[in-house]
Structure 1
Amino acid sequence: MTSRRRIVRTAVGALVLACALTACGTSADSDAPQVLSDSARAQVQRALDAAVAAGTAGVQVVVTEGGRDWQATAGVGDAGTGSGFPADAHVRAGSNTKAFAATVIMQLVSAGSVQLDAPVERYLPGLVQGEGIDGNRITVRNLMQHTSGLPEYLELPELDRDYADLLDTRFDAAELVRSAVRTMPAHFPPGEKAEYSNTNYLILGLLIERVTGRTFAAEVATRITEPLGLGGTYIPAPGELGLRDPHPLGYEVVDGKRTDMTRYDPSFAGAAGALVSTGADLNRSFTALLSGSLLEPAQVTEMRRDPRPLTNRPAGIDYGLGLALLTVPCDRQVWGHGGSIPGFRTYDGVTADGRAVSVLANERPASAAAAAALQSVFDTAICAGP
């Protein structure tokens, strides 16, 4: 159960994964085979219904395969009115933002503006300095792969606040990073192991802004969402508290009660988790990334090279550079990401043969059973037969 004063601290710490190797999109070719067989669709629908029965308000799955999309839902988009989870829904995509940030970094690497094995001190002098923390020893690669040893900024005392405070609080990423590295010690020497820390991606967002002279949101739009035509994907503008239509309400169980947490300023998440997207857009973005539409093949290979197990996440999650390799209960390779942020949980993945899956929940799991049921929706959609 989430307490009222732990909303922000638990905001973007979760991870589920995704990846794709072929192009996605909606096709008008009525002669093309449908996405998933009727029996596979029935399996997925049963998993969706089970997730709602386990306690989640509403769930939507989007499967993209062979250039076509299929989506199904269960539960509600508004627990007050009982209205359904809207089709093509916008949700807060949480840590999927990291894959977008990593893509921008790799484009800058390709252009020669950033070097993966250069120290972060070169790009952000004086920012990453603290007890056992030295930006001269932490590389861009360390940040991208969570091997920096940096503490988790979500554990800062200033983020131990009520949800209501999120509504009108604009956080500064640089100040959050400074506070984290100056008040909390390093967890381990750089490169020793991989431990998921959102601090890494706040820093990468700042690095992008320093190198390009533009905001992180502008770089994501110019380099990713606009070229791909992802009309449902954006970083909210300053002061943009709500979600663009259509969207479900987002819920958290707070002190035992389901609470509406749809509207807030996501600036506390920044380049670690502020993204808003749709299931179809997430499928297309990961497909484009892994197929080489956004990066040169060598850059894609580098992102997937030598993934490291995350010591503070469940077994079966090995992290590359902004992408992770996920073990699923079938003989399929899945790369990608996913996210968790107040009100929403996303599970995203694409198989090596091109099936892209996004699972969108408008309530973060309040129990192990609810979490397992949501994971089962993803696994079923990934592993179901044709």
Structure 2
Amino acid sequence: MLVRGMVALVTAAVAAMVPGVAMASPSRGDLQKDLDGVAAIGALAEVRNGAQVWRGSSGVAELGTTHKVPVAGRFRAGSITKTFVSTVVLQLVAEGRIRLDDSVEHWLPGVVPNGENITVRELLNHTSGLYDYKNTLPMPPSEEFYALQFRTWTATEQIQRALANPPVFKKPGSQYDYSNTNYLLVGEIIKKVTGRTYAEEIERRIIRPLGLHGTTMPGASVRIPGPHPHGYVPKDGGQLDFTEMNPTLFGAGGDIISTTHDLNRFFAALLGGHLLPARLLAEMKQAGTEHGTYGLGLSWHDTACHVRVYGNDGDALAYQAYSFSTADTRRQATVAVTPHLPTNPDATVDTFLDKAFCS
């Protein structure tokens, strides 16, 4: 089976991917100052430049305390999960067990209306047109939202909630529209193909071979294991601690827990060609629509200095994460924040990423 060869390749290459030298004073400028400028309750980051590594944190780990954010802390990485899920699918493609142009109907008969005209590729690059189940859920400040903090969801019921709504456009593949429903379906397809859940496949194909010791697939566990900053959502003009919550709310679209170190390690392996054959890594970098910036679970953008970086970002309500790398993997930056909602930290994180990649 090809996965065994991939695992062996990853195990052999892993020591070369992540350096162990720490920079006392980053030559790219005062990263700590820019991290301190991120609009958030707390933030942590790891920046790599070749063999040099800088790690830092800012803010507080818990409101009402002076506890520092742990530099190696764990966090919910949200939609960065999608890159892991897509990598599993593309490994199955490499093994000849699934094709990107297979229809959803082929793998999940009778589940999706018009499923015979929607492909696995269109799920992965968000061109299916399927309604996003997230838009069917209550959100703050709705009292119903807070009551669902510990509720266990199944992919089936979330998919059904989404499919009770018409598609956002009629012709699959013709437009881009980000929908978490796509990845719930992909998770179900992985289970149909392998007999194991998407989480089990991520564990055996990626987490264990790469030695991502701070990365877990939580299932229905509400806790974040190990050191971590607390995350919050707005309530009654203040902030409600939402650190503990049932991550089945996110499922295959966003439930992973990780660290800045592990995410840099993962993207170094992925973009360095240690997880996928070159042809499928190239497919991953192909946008679903003309001039798009989202491929098969992978996104990209150009920094202020016109350096293109690849990776993904994720929003898990009380946590937001951003992980990007140059194509040659020489430079990487991963940032995680606990936002002070409703303030959006994106612009200030972009400033930090520009410093990391451009200075």
TM superposition score normalised by structure 2: 0.89
CA contact (8 A) 2:131 2:165 kept: no
Any gaps of 5 or more consecutive residues in structure 2?
Answer: 1-14
Of residues 200, 207, 223, the one that matches 1:225 is: 207
Of residues 335, 338, 351, the one that matches 1:362 is: 338
CA contact (8 A) 2:319 2:337 kept: yes
Of residues 119, 142, 148, the one that matches 2:122 is: 142
Deviations 1:288-331 (A, max 9, x none): 01111111111111111245379xxxxxx600111012121113
Of residues 293, 305, 313, the one that matches 1:338 is: 313
Q: Which residue of 1 aligns with 2:17?
A: 24
Q: Which residue of 1 aligns with 2:151?
A: 169
Q: In the aligned structure 1, how far is the partner of 2:82 from the partner of 2:166?
A: 23
Letter in 2 for 1:334: V
CA contact (8 A) 2:271 2:327 kept: no
Q: Which residue of 2 aligns with 1:329?
A: 304
TM superposition score normalised by structure 1: 0.83
CA contact (8 A) 1:95 1:273 kept: yes
Q: Percent identity?
A: 37
Of residues 124, 131, 140, the one that matches 2:108 is: 124
Deviation at 1:65, TM superposition (A): 3.0
Q: In the aligned structure 2, how far is the partner of 1:318 from the partner of 1:295?
A: 20
User: What are the residue-to-residue correspondences of 1:126-275 with 2, within 5 Å?
Assistant: 126-129=110-113, 134-157=114-137, 162-238=144-220, 240-275=221-256
Deviations 1:166-205 (A, max 9, x none): 3431100022112211234443420111111111111111
Deviation at 1:345, TM superposition (A): 0.7
Letter in 1 for 2:17: C
Of residues 322, 341, 348, the one that matches 1:373 is: 348
Report the 3-state secondary structure (helix = DSSP H, G, I; strand = E; otherwise coil) of the residue aligned with 1:319. coil
Deviation at 1:265, TM superposition (A): 0.7
Of residues 51, 70, 74, the one that matches 2:54 is: 70
Closer/same/farther in 2, CA of residues 211 and 152 from structure 1, 3 Å limit: same
Q: In the aligned structure 1, how far is the partner of 2:200 from the partner of 2:162?
A: 26
Report the 3-state secondary structure (helix = DSSP H, G, I; strand = E; otherwise coil) of the residue aligned with 2:305. coil
Which stretches of structure 1, 4 residues or more, deviate above 6 A after TM superposition? none
Of residues 282, 291, 297, the one that matches 2:263 is: 282
For structure 1, which segment, 370-379 or 294-303, has the greater mean C-alpha deviation from structure 2 after superposition? Answer: 370-379
Closer/same/farther in 2, CA of residues 155 and 287 from structure 1, 3 Å limit: same
Closer/same/farther in 2, CA of residues 227 and 364 from structure 1, 3 Å limit: farther
Q: Which residue of 1 aligns with 2:28?
A: 40
Pair 1:81-2:74 in alignment:
no
Q: In the aligned structure 2, how far is the partner of 1:36 from the partner of 1:200?
A: 43
Q: In the aligned structure 2, how far is the partner of 1:49 from the partner of 1:304?
A: 32
Q: Which residue of 2 aligns with 1:352?
A: 327
Closer/same/farther in 2, CA of residues 157 and 348 from structure 1, 3 Å limit: closer
Of residues 43, 53, 59, the one that matches 1:59 is: 43
CA contact (8 A) 2:131 2:181 kept: yes
Deviation at 1:360, TM superposition (A): 0.6
Q: Considering only aligned residues, what root-mean-square deviation do their CA atoms show, in Å?
A: 2.1
Q: In the aligned structure 1, how far is the partner of 2:145 from the partner of 2:223?
A: 14
Deviations 1:198-241 (A, max 9, x none): 11111111111111111111110000000000011111033x11
